[in-house]
Amino acid sequence: MKSAQTEYLRPAAAGDVPALLALRTEAEGWLHAKGTDQWSDPETGERAISKWRESIDEGRAWVVIGERGDVLATVSRGPVDRDFWTDADHPESALYLYKLIVARSAAGLNLGARVIDWMSRLAELEGRTWVRIDTWRTNSGLHSYYERHGFTHLRTEAPTHRRSGWLAQRPAGHLTLPDDLLPVWSPQRSEVPAQRG
């Protein structure tokens, strides 16, 4: 019998920045060990902190909290990246998913898929057609991961000043794990909402 999941989503707060940077540093090491050069640039310092603080201040960064109150994953939504998406892509039709990182200690909990499902539901609620991503061009393992979770590769862009550019999208409302949805904590409530499904 499957035990009930206790993880939930909440907006990221300024106090989460050290945990977010720890997630990023851990992911860099894991990616390096897998033989990919993703995130091999020195962005873990002040630039990364600044970008995360901006996402937090604008309400675009979220964290997944575990049973012990620890940050198990993070995701951000962001504006359309004009290095990749053009007017012909109808950029307003999509929600743009960024910085999805899951702690290695949470591997096996399907948190990545559950977070993507949450973003997909959010996109549908906002009346959007797509959830879109751009990922590191050389990380074929990550490309396969997203394709297994319903994304279709559209094209690869290669601006000289960027290492990302593998572009994919998935229909808004598409759920990979409809019976394992992440609940969202609401500041209006003192408790986490009950798990559905």
pLDDT at 2: 44
Distances (CA, A) of 112 to 24, 68, 84, 109, 118: 15, 19, 23, 8, 10
Nearest-angstrom CA–CA distance, 98 and 196? 26
pLDDT digits (tens, 9 = 90+) for 125-181: 999 999 999 998 888 888 999 999 999 999 999 988 887 899 999 999 999 999 999
Q: pTM score > 0.75 for this model?
A: yes
- Among 195, 196, 131, which residue's Cα sits nearest to residue 168? 131
Per-residue model confidence as pLDDT tens for the chain (197 residues): 344 568 999 999 999 989 998 888 888 777 677 766 666 665 545 676 788 789 999 999 999 999 889 999 999 999 999 999 999 999 999 999 998 999 988 888 899 999 999 999 999 999 999 999 999 888 888 899 999 999 999 999 998 888 789 999 999 999 999 999 999 986 654 444 444 33
